[in-house]
Structure 1
Amino acid sequence: MDLEKYNISASRGFLPLTDPIASLPSSFQAWEVVAAHLPDLLRAKTVREEVERLPTFPTDDLSSEAEWWRAFCLLTFVSHSYVWCEGDVGVARSLPEVLAVPWCKVAHHLDMPPVITHTCGVLRNWRRIDQNGEISRDNLKSLFSFTGSVDEEWFYLDTVLAEFAATRYISQVPAILKNCTVQNYSGLVENLHEVEQAIKAVQDAIYHMRDKCKPAVFYKQILSFQVGWFNSDVLPEGLLYKGVSDTPLQYCGGNAGQSSILATLDTLLGVEHSECVNEVHATQMKHMVQEHRHFLKDLKATVTLRDCVRSSNDDQLLTAYNKCVQALMELRCEHIKLVSLYVVVQKGKEGGQASSQNGGIGFMRFLKTSRDDTIKAKL
């Protein structure tokens, strides 16, 4: 399997093959200025009037895919600021044409929904401070922000580091597929040891979310900008994209379930999920980068690891496989702890019950069912 065919690399995993660009051509300057000053505009409550002054977004000036992605992220952050700048009470029920038309055009070009996604907030929302340095904690800055806070930046960048940590097991995929074909069991043991260690590195990365992103700040200042308009109490019919649709459209917001790293592990290890979880996964896949969706589909049609382990009668291989399943289960447990700390506990402090939905079922139920399904995959 050629990873680069799917815009995936053995050195960066699902992160872009080249760093996201930091600005668009000069014809987009007015838009870049608004995007750069979103935290100030949100604090001053002048986002909507600034948006209404903007010139037509010159989509014809976009040339490279890097520019299309930059445009998508910029339009996404500005649009979500426009919708949620007044909170639930003053939520905008429609987007003006100056935003809706270019956002949908760019989204269509990239085969993405016009709503905030994991790709906008994480995969395409970083730069290296030292262009010759590593992708590391001390060498990253985010490109877009709603609040401008350290907490929000760390929310994005710590997830970038989790994606980068996953590179170690993504790079093993071609070798695993080959070793399954030739029944190279000793080679598979080595591959799976790398996979196990990589999963633990991803877990360690997301554990460090606590370092600089305070739960109360996340819940009160950041979370509201991450939500979409599907099954929304304040936008029950969805959002009207003026100049695009005569009726409101419904889209889920961004979340970690739209990352391909867990889906890759599930597919690679042959984890079978419950119907309710699969329904959520199907929705989340629509928010993934098109090439990554193709990768997961082709991997599912190709991988034979679980059957290979089952029929090998090799105790070392069986142990290595089960250690990977155990590590994946523990990673999901860590994710549950984070969601509980950053959402459920914070909601409780506000005097209510966590009722956020994820694909039509309670998000904690979704996470716990995913964890339980993973445990059942052990051989």
Structure 2
Amino acid sequence: MSPHALLEETLGLEPTDLAKFAVSRNAFLPEENLPKMLSDSYYEPWELVAHNLPELTEAGRIRDAIRQLPMLSTDRLQSEAEWRRAYVILSFFANAYIWGGDIPEQILPPTLTVPFLRISAHLELPPTLTYAGANLWNFHCEGDDFADVEKLSTLLSFTGTESESWFLLISVAMEAKAASIIPTMTRAIEAIKTHDYQVIIKALEELSTHIEEVGILLERMHERCDPMTFYHQIRPFLAGTMNMEAAGLPKGVFYDEGDGRGEWRKLRGGSNGQSSLIMFWDIVLGIEHKGHSESKRSFHEEMRDYMPGPHARFLVHVARLGSIRQLALDLEDSEGEAEQRLRKAYTVATETLTKFRQKHLGIVTRYILIPSKQPWTGSTRKNLASSSLEKKGEHLTGTGGSQLIPFLKQTKDETRFAGMLMDSKP
């Protein structure tokens, strides 16, 4: 049975409904490779700048190049894949324009803003560089196995460095590992209604293996991504415009639409917290992440606003199917073998995810915390990375705008707590 048919059967959806969720045979990645160029020569001005983005940025000419772009319409984009390609191009342009000089630029020109707003609205994404733009839609694969990182290459890059490509592509390969686990876990949640414990147990065991495999990919980051290069040359371009007062954006960025129209916006930057895969893990395991107050949305909930609309709706759909964690809690007093195996499988899965999040903390320590304290003789910019030098350690800010280390530690602790199968937090 094809992955599409399997997923349709699992979700109980018609093909049109599946398309609405944009869940492909590669999970949250596209069905096939995205185009390397927009097909209509009308868009050559965009493609020319995109092709030369690293060189233009290095030479300090990127802002001039973007200002000189003609006002192009989105009417000639010929497929959803081309809309995605256009989003990738303009989101890279926006961040390169903001962070591509000695000081941040506070105003995006209309020739960038107007088409970017239209494309973002079409894809149900904010007009900024998101995880979708930097990772999900920014790669090409030589072959059809998107989980083989050796066969992947980036389509757009700020720096043209191997470190940047490897950093982005490791996440692509990690996402591709979700292809089989999504139908498996949604089937398990639906099995709650029929009390088919064997299906749930097997799915949880597969989930643990799946998370371990994704963790192995994450640990390959060091192979071709240099920490100092990442921190000082790559990470600055991934920053958003929210909580960037210290970096020189007290009001965020003004999206100039021309003729006196426009809006100041403060938006988060690209972050792995915007990965639908990782949030899918949390949802199927019933892991709750709290905000700073009962009335405030958590960072995790807010990150759904930075996912493609269909993906965010898919997560809502899955969350409504049922709760494996609640089932495990309800089985606490049961002495049946299957019931106890289910509770054990659930605990192991949450422990595995806790270990994954510990690995993520290790990556953050190696690529952000340690480099922030070491001298750097190369060029850098006054932005998220360099402004964080004043904060040090625990107060470093993530590209998504959160307090990085405390946020990741809290997320890990909430995952560990869920596996303890207690009714509420102490």
Asked if these proteins are the same fold (TM beyond 0.5), I'd say yes
Indicate yes or no: 2:243 matched with 1:231.
yes
Residues 114-193 of structure 1: matches in 2 within 5 Å?
A: 114-130=127-143, 135-193=147-205
Indicate yes or no: 2:32 matched with 1:18.
yes
CA distance 1:34–1:361, shift in 2 (3 Å): closer
Q: Contact 1:166–1:199 at 8 Å: present in 2 too? A: no
- 388, 405, 411: which is aligned to 1:370? 411
* 1:262 alignment counterpart: 278
- 76, 80, 86: which is aligned to 2:91? 76
User: In the TM superposition, what whole-angstrom CA distance separates every residue of 1:319-355 from its partner, at most 9, and x where no partner exists?
Assistant: 1111100011111111111111111111111464144
Distance 2:28 2:292 in 1: 26
SS in 1 for 2:306: coil
Q: CA deviation at 1:104?
A: 1.0
* 1:253 alignment counterpart: 269
Indicate yes or no: 2:218 matched with 1:206.
yes
SS in 2 for 1:17: coil
CA distance 1:134–1:85, shift in 2 (3 Å): closer
SS in 1 for 2:320: helix
Q: Contact 2:289–2:298 at 8 Å: present in 1 too? A: no
Indicate yes or no: 2:289 matched with 1:273.
yes
**Amino acid in the other structure paired with 2:130:** T
**Amino acid in the other structure paired with 1:94:** I
Indicate yes or no: 2:349 matched with 1:309.
no
Q: CA deviation at 1:361?
A: 4.9
* 1:291 alignment counterpart: 310
Q: Contact 1:165–1:205 at 8 Å: present in 2 too? A: no
**Amino acid in the other structure paired with 1:287:** Y
Q: Contact 1:270–1:306 at 8 Å: present in 2 too? A: yes
SS in 2 for 1:115: coil
Distance 1:84 1:22 in 2: 25
Runs of 4+ in structure 1 deviating by more than 6 angstroms, as ranges, are none
Q: CA deviation at 1:318?
A: 1.2
CA distance 1:238–1:97, shift in 2 (3 Å): same
CA distance 1:369–1:139, shift in 2 (3 Å): same
Flag structure 1 segments of 5+ consecutive residues without an equivalent.
none
Distance 1:315 1:299 in 2: 25
* 2:361 alignment counterpart: 336
SS in 2 for 1:243: strand
How many residues are paired up? 375
Q: CA deviation at 1:52?
A: 2.3
Residues 93-104 of structure 1: matches in 2 within 5 Å?
A: 93-104=106-117
- CA RMSD for the aligned pairs? 1.8
Normalized against structure 2, the TM-score is what?
0.84
Aligned residues: percent identity? 30
Distance 2:233 2:93 in 1: 16
Q: CA deviation at 1:134?
A: 5.7
User: In the TM superposition, what whole-angstrom CA distance separates every residue of 1:94-116 from its partner, at most 9, and x where no partner exists?
Assistant: 01111111111111111111110
CA distance 1:76–1:66, shift in 2 (3 Å): same
Distance 2:153 2:292 in 1: 37
**Amino acid in the other structure paired with 2:268:** C
Q: CA deviation at 1:19?
A: 2.0
Q: CA deviation at 1:166?
A: 2.6
Q: CA deviation at 1:59?
A: 1.0
